[in-house]
Amino acid sequence: MSSEYDEQLAEKVVRIGEMFSGFGESENLPELELFRSEAVNYRMRAEFRVWHDGDDLYYIMFDQATRERIRVDVFPAASAGINALMPELIDRLRGSEILRRKIFQVDFLSTLSGDMLVSLLYHRQLDEEWEAAVAILRGELLECGFAVDFIGRARKQKFVIGRDYVVERLMVHGDEFVYKQVENSFTQPNGRVAEKMLEWAVSCTRGSRASEGDLLELYCGNGNFSLALAQNFRKVLATELAKPSVEAAQWNIAANEAKNVKIARLSAEDFTVAMRGEREFKRLKQQDIVLSEYDFNTVFVDPPRSGMDVESVAMVQEYERILYISCNPTTLCENLQTLCKTHRITKLAMFDQFPYTHHIEAGVMLERR
């Protein structure tokens, strides 16, 4: 397994080197900083379809190339906690007519700190009898050493038995950060690599002119980076559009006692309009956010796979430093074609969030020329 992992990682390093080679023609690129993943048990979440075969019931996945159905009894990529729970859970689902009837999917969400949340998805309406059966299941699993919260989902239905979130604890340069991670909201899937990403971002902005002013963050999610980076800045203003992520971010700000962080519920596009004074937004007033009180000199972005839109790229070019984390190096390079006209790349990193897949997570630090 180790040699197979090393081989796929080496291929990614070559590929990202080729993608960035064009940005080093007139000036030297910084050396690539490489952050490895564990070879097994690295994924904190996993989703499986459930296959009904007579009296039998088991997890399946589909081969992406052939669409062939594959039975899954163990899943080495998933966390040790998920792998331990998988057989215990499917045995109990298999033995319960109430719980197994028309179930078609099971989603697991785990944490490095040991929390576990399981979502059961059905092609039928759920009722009090189902809810009572899950409460019994939860108690049985607890007796076996598994503390699990459950969510039941059906068309226009959501039952919560326990909590609909987990609490993760990530270590960043020896400091612990607490994060509420809500079911069906984006979270970093690889916990150990997520810690490395946070440490890299903190190191990029520590002990330099980058930390003299305030930090603006776009696409902040649940405040994952905002909270860790806050130690390096006077104030942090982060933006996010998804309501569940904003609510989680507010919870995380309170849990981490981050008094210098505020979250604005705006898209990156709308925030660009607000910064230019082209429109006033009630949400900013409601959250007591006065943009003129901030002295931004660094902007952090972690956009979706599509990258940043043209207007947002132009807006971030106004700042001295741009810290950019990307889950899609292709769109990152597209944005860099514009950003490198005004800024130069001073740090370059690759994070292997998704071992054994084509996906690459990259990070760049850019400073004004």
Contact 200, 363 (CB under 8 A): yes
User: Residue 292's pLDDT is what?
Assistant: 86
- Per-residue pLDDT, averaged over 335-348, amounts to 96
Of 168, 204, 240, 327, the active-site residue reads 327
Within 10 angstroms of residue 170's Cβ, the number of other Cβ atoms is 23
Residue 129 lies in a domain: yes
Indicate whether 31 and 56 sit together in one domain. Answer: no
Indicate whether 89 and 24 sit together in one domain. Answer: no
Q: Which helix (H) or strand (E) holds 98?
A: helix 97-100
Indicate whether 34 and 70 sit together in one domain. Answer: no
d(CA 264, CA 137): 40
* pLDDT band per the 50, 70, 90 thresholds, residue 2: confident
pTM of structure: 0.93
Q: What is the pLDDT of residues 257-302, one digit of tens each?
A: 999 999 998 888 888 888 888 888 888 888 888 888 999 999 999 9
Residue 181 lies in a domain: no
- Asked whether the predicted pLDDT for residue 179 surpasses 80, the reply is yes
Task: Rounding to the nearest 10 degrees, give the CA dihedral for residues 242, 247, 248, 249.
Answer: 90
Indicate whether 106 and 210 sit together in one domain. Answer: no
Q: What is the pLDDT of residues 305-331, one digit of tens each?
A: 999 989 889 989 999 999 999 999 999
Look up 361 and say whether it is catalytic: yes
Indicate whether 217 and 357 sit together in one domain. Answer: yes
Contacts of 222 by beta carbon, 8 Å cutoff, 6+ apart = 179, 180, 181, 182, 185, 186, 187, 245, 248, 249, 252
Within 10 angstroms of residue 46's Cβ, the number of other Cβ atoms is 21
Q: What is the pLDDT of residues 46-79, one digit of tens each?
A: 999 999 999 999 999 998 888 899 999 999 999 9
Indicate whether 264 and 137 sit together in one domain. Answer: no
Local structure of residue 71 (DSSP, 8 states): E
Tell me the CA distances in angstroms from 158 to 59, 152, 198, one per residue in order: 22, 6, 33
- Asked whether the predicted pLDDT for residue 211 surpasses 60, the reply is no
DSSP code per residue over 146-207: ---EEEEEETTEEEEES-SEEEEEEEETTEEEEEEEETTS---SBHHHHHHHHHHHHHHTSS
Residue 261 lies in a domain: yes
Residue 215 lies in a domain: yes
User: Residue 273's pLDDT is what?
Assistant: 85
Range of the domain at 338: 2-39+190-368
Indicate the number of domains in the chain: 2
Q: What is the pLDDT of residues 146-167, one digit of tens each?
A: 999 999 999 999 999 999 999 9
User: Residue 209's pLDDT is what?
Assistant: 57
Q: Which amino acid is at 45?
A: R
Tokens of 171: 């270590």
Indicate whether 140 and 212 sit together in one domain. Answer: no
Within 10 angstroms of residue 129's Cβ, the number of other Cβ atoms is 8
What is the side-by-side order of every strand in the sheet holding 103-110? Answer: 69-72, 56-62, 45-53, 103-110, 116-122, 149-154, 157-161
- Asked whether the predicted pLDDT for residue 210 surpasses 90, the reply is no
* pLDDT band per the 50, 70, 90 thresholds, residue 44: very high
Tokens of 264: 């604005």
Indicate whether 334 and 217 sit together in one domain. Answer: yes
Indicate whether 208 and 88 sit together in one domain. Answer: no
State the CATH number of the domain containing residue 69: 2.40.50.1070
Indicate whether 145 and 57 sit together in one domain. Answer: yes
Indicate whether 215 and 339 sit together in one domain. Answer: yes
Residue 185 lies in a domain: no
State the CATH number of the domain containing residue 249: 3.40.50.150
- Per-residue pLDDT, averaged over 185-192, amounts to 92
Indicate whether 77 and 23 sit together in one domain. Answer: no
